[in-house]
Amino acid sequence: MVAHPFTPSRRLVLASLAASLSACSSVGSAEPGGPVTSLAPTSPAPATAQAAPVVPSAEPPGAPPPQAFRTWLEAFRAEALRAGIRRETVERSLSGLAPIQRVIELDRAQPERTQTFEQYITRVINDVRINRARDLRRQHDGVLRQVAQRFGVPPRFVIALWGLESDFGRITGNFPIIAALATLAWEGRRAQLFRSELLEALRVVDSGAITAEAWRGSWAGASGQSQFMPSSYRRFAVDFNGDGRADIWSNEADVFASIANYLGRSGWNARQTWGHAVSLSQPIPQDRTGIDIRRPVGEWLRNGVRFTGAAGDPALEASLVRPGGVGGRAWLVYGNYRVVMQWNRSTFFATSVGLLADHIEAA
């Protein structure tokens, strides 16, 4: 999901679920602890696994009474109309809505445990996913080259994000988007955020891109093979095949172009990669590492950082990241890594995108 509205540890639980099933444009929060969704996005990240249809249900114990939701919904309905959304769209999309208990439970849930970076990377980057990514890169070579020419983003990064967000379109979620967003906008801890996303969702429906009835996705509102939030869809979704609809749900060309458009407009540099693996010949305190500490590669080299394979330009600005903490694997990462973190504010996720992209290129 593109910088999705998950807390880091909560996103990690969802990432683990999707990875085990397969083995996923912008609000997010920084970690430590693991991935966010989608955001970027972007926890933003594997999407919620497919499940039986979710039916809006009565409020869970401790939630405000049903009348409170109906009162809230009427006020939101008036707001949507004032925002210029057609009455027909508002009435059809909001008619009969009730809070979804499971969405409230997921938003309130605290994970029982977290994963280490090495556990996470083992789950999300495995031989099955690498081989599938390489096959799909070859299968879609023509359109991916066209997308790269237009947006300046190499195919391997588009495929890597596609694979990690939705397992190449296989896992996209089955919660009704309008009802899920309405639930979170009414009850959730980030009500204003989701109220804004709900308005954006109604604008998407109003544009004819998808119907409210057909729109399904994650419990936090991300949808499609790129796992975009409604606001990200409106900003970044692309109708690449020219059929009049930016279809991130079922059209791979539009999915690839939308992912590349997000990265391109977020500052992607086509002349750079994401990062290089390094080792440390002398200890570097953890508080001198991280995405916010930027120094020329040459300065890192003078302070005991050594490339273990390919080397970066000594003049290039880089950050030293150790997603697993002190003693864990390390990388010098560049501006494109920061772009991926706009999609999903997690070093776990951003590093996994880079590593999967490298595996694709090595085919």
267 torsion bin: left (phi>0), alpha (psi -120 to 50), beta (else): left
- Give the Cβ contact number of residue 59 at 10 Å: 19
Hey, what are 51's tokens?
């499940």
Name the residue among 176, 185, 179, 187 with its Cα closest to residue 214.
176
> What are the distances in angstroms from CA 306 to CA 310, 311, 317, 326?
10, 9, 15, 16
Beta strands in 55-165 (DSSP E): none
Angstrom distance (rounded) from CA 238 to CA 334: 27
Hey, what are 207's tokens?
């544009």
Question: What is the per-residue pLDDT for 336?
Answer: 98
Contact 131, 23 (CB under 8 A): no
Angle at alpha carbon of residue 220, lines to 216 and 224, rounded to 5° = 40
Name the residue among 7, 223, 231, 215 with its Cα closest to residue 107.
7
Cβ partners under 8 Å of residue 285, min gap 6: none
What strands lie across the sheet with 275-280, from one edge to the other?
A: 295-296, 317-321, 330-333, 275-280, 305-307
Angstrom distance (rounded) from CA 347 to CA 349: 5
> What are the distances in angstroms from CA 241 to CA 131, 147, 158, 246?
27, 11, 17, 9
Angstrom distance (rounded) from CA 222 to CA 38: 7
Question: What is the per-residue pLDDT for 114?
Answer: 77
Q: Which amino acid is at 166?
A: S
Question: What is the per-residue pLDDT for 1?
Answer: 61
pTM: 0.84
User: pLDDT of the chain along its 363 residues, tens only?
Assistant: 665 544 333 344 344 334 333 333 444 433 433 433 333 333 333 333 333 334 344 444 455 555 699 999 999 999 999 999 999 999 999 999 999 999 999 998 855 557 899 999 999 999 999 999 999 999 999 999 999 999 999 999 999 999 999 999 999 999 999 999 999 999 978 999 999 999 999 999 999 999 999 999 999 999 999 999 999 999 999 999 999 999 999 999 999 999 999 999 999 999 999 999 999 999 999 899 999 999 999 999 999 999 999 898 999 999 999 999 999 999 999 999 999 999 999 999 999 999 999 999 987
Question: What is the per-residue pLDDT for 113?
Answer: 57
Question: What is the per-residue pLDDT for 54?
Answer: 42
Angstrom distance (rounded) from CA 87 to CA 49: 33
Question: What is the per-residue pLDDT for 188?
Answer: 72
Go through the domains of the chain in sequence order and give each one's CATH number: 1-268 (1.10.8.350), 275-361 (1.10.530.10)
